[in-house]
Structure formats: C-alpha cells, structure tokens
Amino acid sequence: MGTVAHRTTTIFIVALLTAGVVGLVGCSNSSGPSGEVDPDYLEPTSPENVVLNFGRAYVYLNLDEYLACLSDDFKFHFTEADQHDLPQLPPWFYKSDERQVHENMFGDEWNVESITLTLTVASVETIPGGDLRMLTGDVVVIRAETDLRVSLAGGTTYLATSPQEFYFRTVVDSEEREGRVLWEMFEWHDLEWTGQGNGREGTSWGVIKYCFLESLSEPSRRTSPAEVIDQLEAAYVAMDTLNYLDCLSGDFTFYPCEDDVHNPELDIPPEWYKPDERTMHENMFGEDGYVESISLELTNTEVVHDTGADPEDPLDDIYVHTEDVDLWVNTYGGMSYVVTAPSEFFLCVDPCETGPYGETMWEICTWYDLSDPGRGNVDDGREYTSWGGIKALYR
C-alpha cells in the first residue's frame, strides 16, 4: 500500500468510526440509548467494514454481528503485563470464549447498564501475503486508540484506554463470495499503555472481558484445525498426556520419517497408532521418563483444504497443516533431544464430540514426520533427532 492510499484509507476509517461507532448503549440487544434501532451492518468487503461492524455490534450489544466479524480460528491476545499480574489468564481467548464473554456482557443478567466505545484509527498497515504465518493473501493490520467504558448498575465503571491492534485477512472458501472479496478479523492484540504521566487509566480491554468469563473452554478447545495444533503444542510443554491424546482421533496413525524406518539400528516400525502414542507419552511425561522440561514451537508454513468426496458436506473436509518444528526434550541427565524436522498433520472432523456451544470439533487423524538433513548431529549435550525417534525411545 502506497503512502497516498494509506493516508486516504486512514482518514476514511476515522470518519466512519467517528460517525458510526461512538455511542452510548443500554442493555437492549436491538436498540441504542435513545431507542434507536440497531443499524444495518455492512458487507465485510474490506477491513474497514469489519471494523465498523465490530464497533456497531459492541455499541448495540449485538452478539451475532460481533461474532460474525471473527474467524473460526480467531484469537484475542492478552497483554504480557495482564498475564503477569493475573496468572490465571490464558495467553489468549478463542472464539468460543469470546462468545461466552459477550453473551454475559451483552445480556441482561450481569448488571451492565451501559457501554460506550470510541475507536480512533492511528495507523493502517498492509503486510504482503507470505510475510505473516505464510498466509497466501495480504494481511491488513489496523491499530486504534480506544476509550471503552462498561458501566454496571450500582455505579462501577470499567474503563479501558489502551491501544488495540486488529489483524484482518480475506475469507477462505466463502460460499457467499460470489465474486466479492470478503474479510474477517483473525487476531486481536490488546497492547500495553505507552502514554506519559500516570500511565494507563482504568484497566485493559482483556481484563474487562475476563470479568465476564465463567469458565475457559478447556481442556478441549478444538473448534478449528489451528486450535488442535495449539492444544498439541500446549499439552507437550505441560507434559499432559490426556490433553495430548485428546488431539488424536480414535483411528489415528503416525508415520515416522522414511530415514528412520530404513535405519536398521533404530528398529522403528513404518507406522503406529493411538494406543502406542498413549504408551509412549505416559512413559515420556511420567516420572520414569527422566524428562525435566519440554519446549515446543510449531510454526505453520502451509494449509491445504481438501473438501472431500462431497464438497457440500463440511464433515468430510480435511485440512493439511505443515508445521515447522522447534522441539527440545530436556532430560535430567543434561542431554537435550532437539527436533527441527517439519511435520505434516491431517485434521478431520471429530464425529463424537462438539464444542461448548455445539461447534464442530477437529482432531488429528494422520501425522507424517518429515525428513531433516540436520538430524543425527550431536553438539554440546544436544542430539538432533526426529520427533518419531524421540517417541520411539519411550516405547
């Protein structure tokens, strides 16, 4: 995006927000403070339209329109300061958590008397496709200054004035596209206050949300393929066998890399199944596994969507996630097993379970461990190996 277009877009958004988003809201989901009818919402054909819809939905307490702005794999990221001050906070909310929070905030049972919201756009940035999480289309990042006031009956008002960053991408496989490019918000970052003087006034938007949360949708938060990958990553770091196995389908199959299978010194079979995974990880994560800690970072490099035999039936869809791997399994003896070979995960619909709001749940049905030329090297207490090779140690 060039300089002139960037400035024009920024002015356009500010004008929209000043005219349409700022407002005072009562508890009704259909009207504003003066009995105004909830206005029409725009087609999400631009990030600006999504921002306007998002602001209107907040002002008019419209849960459905608010959730319509968010992607299925949406994440709201809390600030590091909030996570430090409130250890019970998760690193992010999923869409299912956002639904619960705003059902309460926008409903009639939690004593919310009024909400006002002012969003003032500070900057708009376009990140070319491929520069962020290997997304194929461009990503638009809108940073906005905020004044959010949630007033409760009895006189308490929650105030948030810290800036926000909203990340937008084009909608993939939208049945309503019909030649149009549709947009959705897939990430939202609550930012630290950077002003002078007495610092941040009130609290953060994230903490306000947390006040209206009844319970996290744990342990299974697999309402999108990306959430399954997140849960696997978290389960490994926590050395939590049950949450790890929860990511795998009943007919799950793991395929070690071919180099391991063809190496007679390793004695690794060409495939194994969920019961084998249970044994391996109970041994690895248990006290007798001598594992002191595990760190794992999975970075998506490609997502392929297979619509299955019936493109009209989402239940036979398969998503293939290719993930770069940075896995460290640190033992009490000082040895660290390091994996840098990528993995390929095939994710399908879980036919036996739904999410906390009836959402479709996903699970890993097949996992391919891919080859890595760095595997086999040993350096200063680190042994570079494959993920399958580490698992096989704990058979």
The CATH number of whichever domain residue 340 belongs to comes to 3.10.450.50
Residue 217 domain-assigned (yes or no): no
- Provide mean pLDDT across the span 13-23: 39
Confidence of residue 137 (pLDDT cuts 50, 70, 90): confident
Do 200 and 306 sit in the same domain of this protein?
no
Q: Are residues 138 and 256 in the same domain?
A: no
Do 200 and 267 have their domain in common?
no
239 with 96, same domain: the answer is no
- Sign, CA torsion 310/311/313/314: positive
Higher pLDDT, 297 or 40: 297
Residue 128 falls within a domain, yes or no? yes
* Residues 240 and 203 grouped into a single domain: no
Give which of 105, 115, 113, 196 is closest to 148, Cα–Cα. 115
Regarding whether 291 and 186 lie in a shared domain, the answer is no
Longest dimension (CA), the chain: 78
| Co-location of 316 and 196 in the same domain | no
Residue 134: what pLDDT?
A: 41
**What is the DSSP annotation of 81-103?**
HHHHH-TTS-SEEEHHHHHHHHH
Calculate what percentage of the chain has a pLDDT beyond 70: 80
For position 173, what pLDDT does the model report?
A: 53
Q: What is the mean pLDDT of residues 277-286?
A: 96
Residues 166 and 20 in one domain: yes
Helix 3-20 with 47-59: angle, nearest 10 deg: 20
For residues 242 and 117, the model is more confident at 117
Please give the average per-residue pLDDT across 275-282, as a whole number: 96
Looking at residue 190, its pLDDT comes to: 96
Low-confidence winner among 30-39, 88-97, 281-290 (lowest mean pLDDT):
30-39
Assess whether 61 and 141 both reside in one domain. Answer: yes
Of 211, 239, 255, the last residue of a domain is 211
Which of 211, 235, 270 is the last residue in one of the domains?
Answer: 211
Kindly tell me if the per-residue pLDDT of 311 is higher than 60. Answer: yes
Residue pair 183/44 in contact (Cβ under 8 Å)? The answer is yes
Residue 304 lies in a domain: yes
What's the pLDDT at 172? 64
Mean pLDDT value across the chain: 82
Is 60 exceeded by the pLDDT of residue 6? Answer: no
What is the count of structural domains for the chain? 2
Given this model, what pLDDT does residue 217 score?
57
Query: What mean pLDDT comes out for the span 305-328?
Result: 91
Examine residue 88 and state whether it is found in any structural domain, yes or no: yes
Kindly state whether residue 120 falls inside one of the protein's structural domains.
yes
| SS (HEC) of 291-350 | EEEEEEEEEEEEEEEECCCCCCCHHHCEEEEEEEEEEEEEECCCCEEEECCCEEEEEEEE
Q: Please check whether residue 216 lies inside any domain of the structure.
A: no
Task: Over range 381-391, report the average pLDDT.
Answer: 91
* Domain end (from 211, 235, 253): 211
CB 278 within 8 A of CB 254: no
Q: 192 and 80: one domain?
A: yes
What are 41-58's pLDDT values in tens digits? 999 999 999 999 999 999
Q: Are residues 243 and 382 in the same domain?
A: yes
237-266 mean pLDDT: 93
Structural domain contains residue 320: yes
Residue 67 and residue 45 in one domain: yes
Q: What is the pLDDT of residues 193-246, one digit of tens each?
A: 755 434 445 789 999 999 999 877 554 568 889 889 989 998 999 898 988 999
> Is the separation of the CB atoms in 371 and 378 below 8 Å?
no
Span 155-170, mean pLDDT?
Answer: 94
Whole-structure pTM value: 0.56
Give the pLDDT confidence score for residue 90 in this predicted structure: 77
Q: What percentage of the chain's residues is helix, strand, coil (to nearest 5)?
A: 30, 35, 35
Q: Taking residues 142-161, what's their average pLDDT?
A: 92
Residue 88 scores a pLDDT above 60: yes
Quote the domain boundaries for residue 101.
3-211
In a domain, 218, yes or no: no
Instruction: Please tell me which of 164-178, 190-204, 241-255 the model is most confident about, judged by mean pLDDT.
Output: 241-255
* Cβ contact 291:282 at 8 Å: no
